[in-house]
Amino acid sequence: MINAGLLRHNIKVYRPSSIINTYGEKEVTYEFYSNVRASVNPVTGKETWINEELKNEIDYKIQSRYTDIKVTDIIVFEDKEFDVIEILDWDMKHQELSILAKERLYLEYVII
C-alpha cells in the first residue's frame, strides 16, 4: 500500500471523446474525467530539435492509488500535459498504480 503522504500532487485525468463537426467529420476532443491524488516524479530526460527549437522530452513516473486510468487518457498536472505510455498494477491487487507518462511538447488536442 502506498503511503498517503507521498500523494501530494493533484492530477486531472481527461478521457477522449468523439464529436462530429459541422462538416460531418469525426474529431477527437478530451473531456474531464476525474481528479486523482498522486506522486509525480521525473525519471529520464533528453533534448530534441522540433521546428528549429530545442525542446526537452521528459518521462515521468506517476504513482497513485488504484483508479480507472487508461492508456488513451491524458494527465494534466499544473501547466503540463502528459501522454500515458504504460500502466502497471503491482501484484494485480488493484491497490496502487505506477504510470509511465511522457510530457507533451506541443498542444495536440483541445481540452474542454
Per-residue pLDDT in tens (0 to 9) along the chain, 112 residues: 778 888 999 999 999 999 888 898 999 899 999 999 999 999 998 887 777 877 778 899 999 999 999 999 999 999 899 999 999 998 888 899 999 999 987 655 555 4
- C-alpha cell of residue 34: 476525474
Reduced DSSP (H G I as helix, E B as strand, rest coil) percent helix, strand, coil of the chain, to 5: 5, 65, 30
In 10 A of CB 105, how many CB atoms? 15
* Confidence (pLDDT) at 111: 55
C-alpha to C-alpha distance for 83 and 100, rounded to whole angstroms: 9
Kindly report the pTM of this predicted structure: 0.81
C-alpha to C-alpha distance for 68 and 65, rounded to whole angstroms: 10
Task: Indicate the SS3 state at residue 5.
Answer: helix
* Confidence (pLDDT) at 108: 54
Residue ranges per structural domain of the chain? 4-103
C-alpha to C-alpha distance for 22 and 57, rounded to whole angstroms: 36
At the fourth CATH level, the homologous superfamily of domain 4-103 is Bacteriophage SPP1 head-tail adaptor protein (2.40.10.270)
